Amino acid sequence: MASTSMPSNVCMKLFFRDLNQTTIFDYPDFRICNPPKLGRPKGSGSSKLDPFREEIEAMLKCGVRQNYIAKKYDITPAALNQWIKKHGISTKAEVTSAE
């Protein structure tokens, strides 16, 4: 039976082949023994609210409630609140003095 992965004894031989090397990363076969990690990347991706950032900021400055904004963009109020905190958007309405 032929195995598609490299046997562990070959990896060990590569590792101990020359201990005078500074690191194992110097070996050309390092990627064969340690393939890159698969799966979902770390970090947050883009949100469906990102294209509407300016509009959401303007509504928050005018004093529109977060529940209304969340319903408008079909998300939960908690998700909107997390998005606002993540992007550092002020939720305080601007007070204009009438003179």
Q: What is the pTM of this model?
A: 0.55
* 99 residues of the chain, pLDDT tens digit each: 555 555 666 666 666 665 555 565 555 666 666 667 778 878 777 889 999 999 999 999 999 999 999 999 999 999 999 999 999 998 887 776 665
3-state class (DSSP) for residue 84: helix
The pLDDT, as a whole number, for residue 91 is 84
- Measured distance CA(22)–CA(25) in Å, rounded: 8
The pLDDT, as a whole number, for residue 63 is 93
The pLDDT, as a whole number, for residue 15 is 61
The pLDDT, as a whole number, for residue 2 is 52
Q: What share of the chain is helix, strand, coil (3-state, %, to 5)?
A: 45, 0, 55
CB 32 within 8 A of CB 6: yes
